[in-house]
Structure formats: structure tokens, C-alpha cells
Amino acid sequence: MSLTNLHTDHRRALTFPIGTSMYGIDVSNILSFSDSFGEIKYATEHVDGFIGYLDFRNTLVQVFECATSLSHSKERDTIVELISEIKIYQQAHIDWMDALEHSIRSGEPFTKARDPHACAFGQWFYSYKTDDDGLRALLDKIEQPHKDIHSLGDKLLDMTSAGDQDEAVEMLRIERQTSLKKLLRTLGHIQDYLKNSIHPIVLHLTKDGRTPWFSMVLDNIGDIIDYSPVAMDNLKTIDQSTPIEGYVRDPSGESFMMLSLEQFYEHASAKLSKAG
């Protein structure tokens, strides 16, 4: 998508979140943004923040990871980690059911958590916060089947103690096909939802409005915001290693830190030079 039509206005910024912070880039420095992340030729050397090279408009440009360059973790790494954790939670509840059946049949103690808040998944589920309505809607479908599964511990073991072992085994079989299947299916839907939310955006940058300079990768972009230079506080006391030009106070919306692309590129290039 081209932003050429915005280059005449030097008082507009493209904002984007990284972690809990909001940043901005003056649109006069933006040639375009694209979904060409998969076309990046990865560098053989490892340098924090540097990804590799991209052929953009017949020019080989350097590509930097914005979050890593600003000493933040990448949101997509957090998402990939969560997807892996959910897979573990799925298997943990299959194992929970297997352990309960073993205890029912063998009479050996059942040692796994019976409280739905106490298992690893429950601890994560009841503490996890998200502003994503789609993800929240999926999470809301999990609580009841998860509670139903954990309620089986006391119920079926009491039945077994009362001599109703066969009935307890049959009830467990039914719950595998209902509560457990619903839990596993919904967790699978959440994994798919999270995978589909990963779409890195490549921002192609320029100094003169025409010539490619370098590119940076963002996990998300926000809005294009009009701002007045007088609304930007210069951060004279900020750490000189942080490429921030100033702090823009937006009375009608969210304030943000304006990136100094000159400093950003200078710092990134210095890391590359030291790496040889």
C-alpha cells in the first residue's frame, strides 16, 4: 500500500504499538508498507535487530526488526510461545483423564489437581487478560468444560469408593467424548486464531520521499495521526541510545513517542559494523 499521497504533509505520523508503548513515524519518511516479510533474505550473521535484506524497487535494502532494535520482545514471538503452551495444556488434560481412569481401575491415589484454578492451564486462564474480542469470545467457551472435567475427580473417585467402579469408568468415557472433546476443540480453535493473527508488516522507509532507505518490520500498526510540532516535547534527558525524537501529546487520542529514524538507522548500522 502506497503512502505517497501523504508525503506533502509533514505533520502526520503513523503510530504503532510495541509492548505497552506507542510509537510513531513521520509519514514523510514512509514510501509504502507491504506483506513481503516472507521475501526477506535472512542474514547469515546474527545481529540484534537486523533481519536481512529485501529487494525493494530494484534496490537491496537492509531490514530491521523494530521491536528488537528498541529492546522490546516481538509480539509474534509471544504468540508463538502461547500457541506452544496451549498444545501442552491440551495434552495435560488428556493425561489428567488417563490418570483419573488409572486411579479408578487400580485404586492408586489420584494426585493431579482437582481444583480447575490449580492446574497449570487454570492458573494461566484465570490470570490472562486480552483486549482482543475474538480471542476473548473463544476463551469464554472454555471455562465450563474445564470446570466439568475437574469436577470429575471427587465425583468419580467417590463413586469408586462406594463400589460403583464400572459406572465411574462409563461416566468418564462419556466425559471424554463431551467435556474433554469440547475443551480440546476450543483450544485448537484458539491456536488457529492466534496463528492467523501473526502477519508482520514491512515498512519501507525513505529520506527524500523517492529513494528506498531501509525497511523495518512491525507486528502491528495503529492510525495515521495529525499532530502539531508544538505538541511534541523534546526528550533532552532521555538515554542517548534510545532513538526517540520527542513525545507527542495528542489531546484527542493516544499520545506516542516519535522515532528518530536517523538515530534508529545510525544505531542499527553501528551494530552491523561492529559485527563485521
Of 250 and 44, which is predicted with more confidence? 44
Exposure string over 69-85, b if 16+ CB within 10 A, otherwise e:
bbebebbbeeeeeebee
First to last CA, the chain: 34
pLDDT band at 7 (very low <50, low <70, confident <90, very high): very low
| H/E segment holding residue 234 | strand 232-234
User: Beta 59-65 vs 212-218: how paired, if at all?
Assistant: parallel
Choice between 248 and 195, residue whose per-residue pLDDT is larger: 195
Distance (Å, whole) CA 209 – CA 271: 26
Residue 8 has pLDDT above 70, yes or no: no
- Higher-pLDDT residue of 273 and 7 is 273
- The three-point CA angle 24-19-249 to 5° equals 40
- Which pLDDT value is given to residue 193? 97
pLDDT score of 233: 78
CA distance linking residue 105 with residue 103, whole number of Å: 6
- pTM passes above 0.95: no
pLDDT reading at 3 higher than 70? no
Report the percent of the chain where pLDDT is more than 70: 92
Cβ–Cβ under 8 Å, residues 265 and 213: yes
pLDDT at 240 over 80: no
Sorting pLDDT into bands at 50, 70 and 90, what band is 20? confident
Main-chain dihedrals φ then ψ at residue 222, nearest 5 degrees:
-105, -120
What pLDDT score does 6 carry?
A: 44
Span 126-155, average pLDDT: 95
Residues 6+ apart with CB under 8 A from 97: 149, 172, 175, 176, 180
User: What pLDDT is recorded for position 276?
Assistant: 58
Q: Average the pLDDT over 134-147 and give the result.
A: 96
Average pLDDT over residues 151-167: 97
Instruction: Write out the three cell numbers for 183.
Output: 475443551
Going by C-alpha positions, the residue among 12, 65, 82 that lies closest to residue 202 is 65
Which pLDDT belongs to residue 239? 55
Mean pLDDT rounded to a whole number for the chain = 90
Q: What's the pLDDT tens digit per position in 34-84?
A: 999 999 999 887 888 999 999 998 999 999 999 999 989 999 999 999 999
Give the pLDDT confidence of 93-130 residue by residue, as tens digits. Answer: 999 999 999 999 999 999 999 999 999 999 999 999 99
Nearest 5 degrees, angle CA 113-CA 115-CA 121? Answer: 70
Residue position matching grid coordinates 475427580? 153
Q: pLDDT band for position 5 (50/70/90)?
A: very low
